[in-house]
Structure 1
Amino acid sequence: MSSEIEKLFTFVEKLVDSDARKVFEALYEAGEELSEADIATKTGLKLNVVRRALNSMAEKGLVVYRRQKHPQKNKLVFYWRINYEGLPSIIESRKRAAHEKLRTLLEKEESVHYYVCPRDGTRYTFEEALDHEFICPRCGSMLVLDEERELRIQILKQYIKMLEDELGGAKAS
């Protein structure tokens, strides 16, 4: 399995859950429409779990379905497939949202100085630290200036650059 496909499966798992990943993998491997019952058989998941995963993925636009009346049972059968046409825009919109969140975090990280509790790692703004007289309200330890601030800023900038490169250099979302 290629790393791109594995990334797609991981994306589905993070966006929905591990059951959805299994369902998505079954649809991918089949390469065609599958009924809910077929998916349940292929994945070993219960039918209600399959339906929940499919509905969650459909809400996010990852899969689409068509309904067809079953000839003998006189009930509707849903046939599901991956929404290949919509996947690129879904992935791009998630990247744009992540890009915006990272830019917001970067702006905050660059504009605010934090103090941290050496015991539990809780971070406090300068104002919060001042209010507590630079003593951790949880454990009573002396708060120290966050020395990892520059590293955090550098990491955020790297992730932002990576997303901008993937989005075609779009600096603003």
Structure 2
Amino acid sequence: MIDDPLVKSLLTNVVEDESNLPIVQALIDGVETDEAIAEKTEIKLNIVRKILYKLYDMGLATYKRSKDPETQWFTYSWKFEEQEVINHIKSDSEEYLKMLNKELEKEEDTMYFVCPQGHIRLDFETATEYDFICPECGEELEFFDNTNLIKQIKDDIKTVESNYKSFTKKVDA
């Protein structure tokens, strides 16, 4: 599961650094306690605990606390919540696609003008309020051809849809 690009991206964001992904892999492999994870991954115990709590805060891991009758110490048994990872990815992908589609619609429906010095980009209505003069430097605004930007957004949408489709095929299989 961790090899999937969407899963890896989500988990890397949560655990802050790709070097902490072995902690997640240990959880997936069934290692339950923070001490055992630290031993298996050779990552400091305090870092393992920090990452486990980050996963917990995101709902990607859960734990059960039990008390050792002899030592009276608490032991935390951790479990990776695969379904929550799937839910996060589905939700994040859907939100990102909505945002991209809104951005695409805005770019396709709006005429833009830019400062030749790169100070500002304004839609037609706002540019008329400034009499097509840059409020930063006073230069005349120029028409901005956003064809390449529109193409890039469309490509991004295709990529996200493709990755999402590939991901859902894997998890639904």
Please give the range of the TM-score, normalised by the shorter of the 2 chains.
Answer: 0.7 to 0.9
| 8 Å contact kept, 1:114–1:146 | yes
In structure 1, the partner of 2:24 is: 27
**Which deviates more, 34-43 or 108-117?**
34-43
1:100 to 83, 90, 98: 98
In the TM superposition, residue 71 of structure 1 has moved relative to its aligned partner by 4.0
* 1:128 aligned partner, one-letter code: T
Deviation of 1:39 after TM superposition, in Å, equals 4.4
- Report the counterpart of residue 137 of structure 2 in structure 1: 139
1:7-86 equivalent positions in 2, closer than 5 A: 7=5, 8-14=7-13, 16-19=14-17, 21-29=18-26, 31-39=29-37, 42=41, 44-45=43-44, 47=46, 50-86=48-84
Do residues 152 (structure 1) and 149 (structure 2) align?
yes
After superposition, the Cα gap between the structure-2 partners of 1:118 and 1:38, relative to the gap in structure 1 and judged at 3 Å, is farther
Separation (CA, whole Å) in 2 of partners of 1:43 and 1:137: 57
TM-score, normalising length from structure 1?
0.73
Q: For the structure 1 residues 112 and 33, does the alpha-carbon distance in structure 2 shift closer, same or farther, using more than 3 Å as the test?
A: same
Shift of 1:160: 1.8
1:26 shift after superposition? 1.9
TM-score, structure 2 normalization: 0.73
Task: Check whether the contact 1:27–1:33 (CA below 8 A) recurs between aligned residues.
Answer: no
Per-residue deviation, 1:74: 1.8
Give the Cα–Cα distance (whole angstroms) in 2 for the partners of residues 122 and 76 of structure 1: 58
Q: RMSD over aligned Cα, in angstroms?
A: 2.9
The superposition leaves residues 16-44 of structure 1 with CA deviations (integer Å, 9 ceiling, x where unpaired) of 3525x544422304622343344456464
Query: Number of aligned pairs?
Result: 162
Contact in 1 for aligned 2:26/2:37 (Cα 8 Å): no
CA distance in 2, matches of 1:159, 1:45: 38
The 1:64/1:153 distance shift into structure 2, 3 A limit, reads same
Corresponding letter in the other structure for 2:151: Q
Q: Which consecutive residues of structure 1, in runs of 5 or more, have no partner in the other structure?
A: 169-173
Percent of matched pairs sharing the same residue: 26
Which has more helix, going by share of residues? Answer: 2
The secondary structure found in structure 1 opposite 2:82 is coil
SS of 2:72 mapped into structure 1 = coil
Letter in 2 for 1:101: M
**Alignment check: 8 A CA contact 1:27 1:39 kept:** no
